Amino acid sequence: MTAKSQRHWDGEVGDLLRVDEGFHLADCDPASTPGYLKGKKAGAEDLASGVDELSDLQERLFARSRVDRTDASVLLVLQAMDSAGKGGIVRHVVGSVDPQGIALTAFKKPTAEELEHDFLWRIDKRLPEPGIIGVFDRSHYEDVLIGKVRRLAPAEEIERRYDAINDFEKRVVDSGTRLVKVMLHISADEQKERLMERLDRPDKHWKFNPGDVDERMLWPQYQEAYQAVFDRTSTDHAPWYVVPADRKWYARLAVQHLLLVALEDIDPQWPRATFDVEEQRARLAAT
Amino acid sequence: MTAKSQRHWDGEVGDLLRVDEGFHLADCDPASTPGYLKGKKAGAEDLASGVDELSDLQERLFARSRVDRTDASVLLVLQAMDSAGKGGIVRHVVGSVDPQGIALTAFKKPTAEELEHDFLWRIDKRLPEPGIIGVFDRSHYEDVLIGKVRRLAPAEEIERRYDAINDFEKRVVDSGTRLVKVMLHISADEQKERLMERLDRPDKHWKFNPGDVDERMLWPQYQEAYQAVFDRTSTDHAPWYVVPADRKWYARLAVQHLLLVALEDIDPQWPRATFDVEEQRARLAAT
């Protein structure tokens, strides 16, 4: 399935980026642009026309939820190493539609209260309502990523979590949510450049944290933890998409594409009037 | 004070739109464009350059809250008769900045749980955190607008609420929030046209509710209730701004202006690094 408004794809991007059996993260080139033979300029055109389509679909989805009983919603889950571009996706892809229809949650280190509950407790509370496009900037996957790498939980608890995630996501999908799980995949070299830029520019210092370097030193462990996530939680009902992200324009275009496909799959129609249009016209005219 | 990026104002828009003693809503022409002698085209230019300034200021405000201890935030309160353009403000003014820094709440008819508490209970919970631009699409003012017109509470309770609002807003402002209270003021004729358009276009039916005509029939009572709101709650610490809204381009430009002025007043600076930049550069280089 291909998003109608993006004209320059040369392949089925969903198929190309989806994590299927036998996927190896190490074989995925972060600088590649799978399915897109044209360059940045065509990409910018496609992104702009995609904005219009995304806005239209989002408004229809929202409209339905205001009038009909619909259970449809979308949930974009964004995971990545630091500086891979989650913020840019939020700003330039998600931020292009009406804020009314968006529910964005940035998950931080769990609070004391959150730690008293199961790791999915805080996630469950932030699932999107019908009609809404939810966005998770980090997610329950942190609990099997940093959770595993930093040994924040015993190994058997990490094991249990993969299955718990699959069950949880099955329930989410069955309740009408299109789940779009994206890992933005950058190279270690590209991350180094981006972190260095944050150090070079005073207006970027706030985005830098010494802890970012600590995490970077565990790069191979994180790549392994991601591979385990893909092996264990890329399911038929909730597959993962690994989006090469060294080229920001490609990553934004590809994520926009995945959102468009999810919304086209819902195919939201303008809801019918729940009132008699002529009657209301007459009432209004009389005022 | 004038927003730097908007070049074509001929007057101090804040002074012109602010509700001061002796203000009469009936004297305010909804089709006027106070302080702006140029037309729609210059307005579009100013709105576009205002977007860049607003984005920059919003990012600085957000950045500070991530690093320093700042208490500064902004809260835009939007009130209006139906179809006056609150949604357009949210979409085109608020929606032009990074969604990460925005907390939007659309207040609907109170739920059973909300009704069990004081009317400010649900409002208090949605106040913006430091660093955030909060937006209220409708607000606690509904409780002295529809609350008064529809007699949802006894007269003495309505009276009590004005004072409660003033006390509440004083606390909000003292805690570091710049409060920008805006009433979008349209004419009854313009509303009729806009509601009729919603009936004429199937893709707008979802925005129409037969109850909108019922409320419209109480137009004079609502104008009176707004006048009482201005008389009782336009204070030094939290003044009201009445923005003529028959011309959408003017209303958006004026609200953007008020937000810009609030942010310029905070004057958020990029936070200083809380780490030794050279040291981190060396650590990063070694990876």
Contacts of A222 in chain B (CB under 8 A): none
Neighbours of A209 (CB within 10 A): 18
For B140-182, the pLDDT digits (tens) are 999 999 999 999 999 999 999 999 999 999 999 999 999 999 9
What angle do helix axes A248-266 and A40-67 make, rounded to 10 degrees? 30
For B13-29, the pLDDT digits (tens) are 999 999 999 999 999 99
Contact A99 B95 (CB under 8 A): yes
Q: Of all helices (H) and strands (E), which one includes residue A242?
A: strand A240-244
pLDDT, average across residues B203-222: 96
Task: Please give the pLDDT value at position A259.
Answer: 97
Complex ipTM value:
0.92
For A135-171, the pLDDT digits (tens) are 999 999 999 999 999 999 999 999 999 999 999 999 9
Indicate if the pLDDT at residue B1 is higher than 80: no
For A260-284, the pLDDT digits (tens) are 999 999 999 999 999 999 999 999 9
pLDDT, average across residues B114-124: 97
For B80-117, the pLDDT digits (tens) are 999 999 999 999 999 999 999 999 999 999 999 999 99
Q: Is residue B4 very low, low, confident or very high in pLDDT (cuts 50, 70, 90)? A: confident
- Return the residue in A59, A133, A203, A206 with the most chain B beta carbons within 10 A, the one to mutate for interface testing: A206
Tell me how far apart the alpha carbons of residues B24 and A161 are, in angstroms, rounded to a whole number: 63
What domains, with CATH codes, occur in chain B?
13-285 (3.40.50.300)
Contacts of B79 (CB under 8 A, 6+ apart): B138, B139, B141, B142, B145, B181, B182, B183, B184, B226, B229
Task: Please give the pLDDT value at position A245.
Answer: 98
Contact A98 B95 (CB under 8 A): yes
Contacts of B216 in chain A (CB under 8 A): 284, 287
Indicate if the pLDDT at residue A1 is higher than 80: no
Task: Please give the pLDDT value at position B67.
Answer: 87
Contact B213 A283 (CB under 8 A): yes
Phi, psi values for residue B210, rounded to 5°: -50, -30
pLDDT, average across residues B42-46: 94
Contacts of A95 in chain B (CB under 8 A): 95, 97-99
CA dihedral A254, A256, A258, A261 (to 10 degrees): -130
Contacts of B63 in chain A (CB under 8 A): 203, 206-207
- Sort B259 into a burial class: Cβ within 10 Å, 0-12 / 13-18 / 19+: buried
Report yes or no: B282 at the A interface, CB cutoff 8 Å.
no
- Return the residue in B206, B214, B216, B270 with the most chain A beta carbons within 10 A, the one to mutate for interface testing: B206
Contacts of A122 (CB under 8 A, 6+ apart): A107, A110, A114
Contacts of B280 in chain A (CB under 8 A): 199, 208, 210, 213
Tell me how far apart the alpha carbons of residues B264 and B252 are, in angstroms, rounded to a whole number: 18
pLDDT, average across residues A231-239: 97
Report yes or no: B180 at the A interface, CB cutoff 8 Å.
no
Q: 3-state DSSP call for residue B266?
A: helix
Tell me how far apart the alpha carbons of residues B230 and B249 are, in angstroms, rounded to a whole number: 24
Indicate if the pLDDT at residue A183 is higher than 90: yes
A 55-84: CB under 8 A from B = 63-64, 66-67
Report yes or no: B109 at the A interface, CB cutoff 8 Å.
no
**Nearest CB to A210; choose among B202, B280, B287:** B280
Tokens of B25: 């809503």
For A191-221, the pLDDT digits (tens) are 999 999 999 999 999 999 999 999 999 999 9
Distances B276 to A123, A196, B271 between C-alpha atoms, Å? 35, 13, 14
Tell me how far apart the alpha carbons of residues A201 and A67 are, in angstroms, rounded to a whole number: 48
Q: Residue type at B112?
A: A
**Whether the Cβ atoms of residue A65 and residue A129 lie closer than 8 Å to each other:** yes
Question: Positive or negative, the Cα torsion across B85, B86, B92, B93?
Answer: positive
Residue B2: HSE in the Cβ half-sphere, 13 Å Cα cutoff: 14
Task: Please give the pLDDT value at position B6.
Answer: 86
Indicate if the pLDDT at residue B11 is higher than 80: yes
Tell me how far apart the alpha carbons of residues B212 and B208 are, in angstroms, rounded to a whole number: 7
Contacts of A182 (CB under 8 A, 6+ apart): A76, A77, A78, A79, A89, A240, A241, A242, A243, A255, A258
What angle do helix axes B248-266 and B40-67 make, rounded to 10 degrees? 30
Percent of chain A whose pLDDT exceeds 70: 99
Contact A205 B277 (CB under 8 A): yes
Report yes or no: A239 at the B interface, CB cutoff 8 Å.
no
Neighbours of A20 (CB within 10 A): 10
Tokens of B132: 């955030």
Strands (E), chain B: 73-80, 102-106, 133-137, 177-185, 240-244
**Nearest CB to A99; choose among B90, B206, B217:** B90
How high does pLDDT run on average in chain A? 96
Tell me how far apart the alpha carbons of residues A85 and A246 are, in angstroms, rounded to a whole number: 9
DSSP label at residue B214:
H
pLDDT, average across residues B209-238: 97
Neighbours of B138 (CB within 10 A): 18
Task: Please give the pLDDT value at position B3.
Answer: 74
Tell me how far apart the alpha carbons of residues B48 and B96 are, in angstroms, rounded to a whole number: 9
For A55-112, the pLDDT digits (tens) are 999 999 999 998 877 899 999 999 999 999 999 999 999 999 999 999 999 999 999 9
DSSP label at residue A18:
B
Contacts of A190 (CB under 8 A, 6+ apart): A30, A31, A246
- Return the residue in A199, A207, A278 with the most chain B beta carbons within 10 A, the one to mutate for interface testing: A199
pLDDT, average across residues A15-24: 96
